[in-house]
Amino acid sequence: MKPIIGITAHVELDWKHTLANDYIQAVICAGGIPMIIPVGIDADVDQIVDKIDGVVLSGGGDIDPTLFGEEPHQNLGSISPGRDSLEVAIIHRFLEKNKPILAICRGIQILNIAAGGDMFQDIYSQSESQLLQHAQKATRSHYSHYVNVEKNSLLESIAGQTEFKVNSFHHQAVRNVVSPFIVTARASDGVIEAIESTEHQFVLGVQWHPEPLALNEDHISKAIFQRFIEACHS
């Protein structure tokens, strides 16, 4: 039996769900059956979590900063409170049940926030360092900058190396990481690029977008999805 993988979707102004097809195809290619999770089913989260074997927290818009005790920064973009509440509820249930999570771009941020961490609302105006271009002006499958991976991490075991290039489409980023999560990859400018749990079988968040790279035959991106699907079988 193939595992059923829930994928959260972007919500535009609370009237349209959108999800890039490469999330769906990357899950299919790795051996999973994708199911899009809509906003508005918070009351039924327990039932949904019981029915799916893993969840992909996809990319999308910005996150409500009041979730981590801040008011909106002037450079905060469009938010979706309904999506925020749904994903936080799903994350809590998945962590409690030790079910696999793959969190991508926005996903890594909401994963960290759900655990009690926080994030930069806008890295360019809130960082004192000179930053790379993290919102690349190129196609989704273009490799933009390098990430440096911690040795003996889950991500290193998947990638088989401690440095590789990724794509990049964000202006927000994880800031303070709390237990059970640890930082396992950074860009050369110090921006956090990956976190993972030290207490769960497979909970990995990455700041880049491996889904278009996986479909472009990038072996590390394909391995991320394959290892995730493997974990969903157990």
Compute the residue count for the chain: 234
Known catalytic residue: 211? yes
Catalytic residue, candidates 10, 105, 145, 200: 105
Query: Is 105 labeled as catalytic in the residue annotation?
Result: yes
Percent of residues in the chain assigned helix, strand, coil, to nearest 5: 35, 25, 40
Q: For residue 30, give both structure tokens.
A: 């790795």
| Alpha helices (runs of H) in the chain, residue ranges in sequence order | 21-30, 45-51, 81-97, 106-114, 123-126, 154-159, 210-215, 219-233
- Active-site residue, selected from the candidate residues 87, 193, 196, 211: 211
87, 134, 209, 232: the catalytic one is 209
Give the angle subtended at the CA of 16 by the CAs of 12 and 19, to the nearest 5°.
Answer: 80
Residue among 58, 52, 57 nearest 3 (CA)? 52
* Cα dihedral 47→112→153→211 (10° resolution): 70
Residue with tokens 């899009």: 36
**What is the sign, positive or negative, of the torsion defined by CA atoms of 143, 145, 151, 155?**
negative
d(CA 88, CA 92): 6
Active site residues per annotation: 105, 209, 211
